[in-house]
Amino acid sequence: MKEEELIDKITKEILAKLEKMNVSGGSSKGESPSKKPDSKVLSAVELAGMIDHTLLKPGATENQFEQLCKEAIEYKFMSVCVNSSWVPYVAKKLRGSSVKVCSVIGFPLGEMDTRSKAFEARNAIANGAHEIDMVINTSALKSGNLKLVEEDIRAIKRACRSTTILKVIIETSLLTDEEKVIACELSKKADADFVKTSTGFTGAGATVEDVALMRRVVGPKIGVKASGGIRDYKTAIAMIQAGANRIGAGGSVAIVTGSTAKGNY
């Protein structure tokens, strides 16, 4: 089957699935397949265990990464999420704690070639990363080169093997609903452990509608991470109610203490 025919076939299947799920117009109503926590009973401690405490902004200093790790240990966040060059530093600071190390790969554009992404992932894992958040090649996806997108994800999954969690950032703000579904389907097909909404670097972050749509597509067995623009407890809970089981945020302390963070990452 020619690539054009394959794209047309997948597109028709996606549209049929969207129609069957009654998903259209950028929103997705209805409940997640997985059980949703009750926002009234989800404690700050429980929420902290679902948060990747994140510092990805350019120009961040060693003192800021040290503070990131101290906060992660104090509040018992799931992980700290950093650029790959900072993995050795945070891995050392977090040694002996329950906090995992998460490294972004191909961040923030996702446009580097697959071999470079795979090398970055292997290097991050060797330096102490327990989880990998890779950015898909959105240009390839929007150009209809689905084979490249899937192979890109599979290559990073091979680098992760069975010991490292792989999250796939699909960058929802750049995609149509149809493309979001395709990105989730390709991630699922390539055995990703999570799909993730956003890098937070495109001017828009997670929305409840996108999280709900992603959860519907991947089902209950794959994780959904909401990231970008989540600055308070109420918003974090809304994402979880929509189907997220992981939150990415720079203002994690504000979220779990009931205040509002000022920035993204």
Residues annotated as catalytic (active site), given as ranges: 133, 196, 225
Query: Distance between CA 265 and CA 256 in Å, rounded?
Result: 16
Enumerate long-range contacts of 62-65, CB under 8 Å, 24 or more apart: 62/89, 65/89, 65/90, 65/93
Separation between Cα atoms, residue 181 and residue 131, nearest integer Å: 23
Look at residues 224, 218, 217 and name the one whose alpha carbon lies nearest to residue 50. 224
Q: What is the dihedral of CA 74, 76, 81, 85, to 10 degrees?
A: 50
Q: How far apart are the first and last CA of the chain?
A: 43
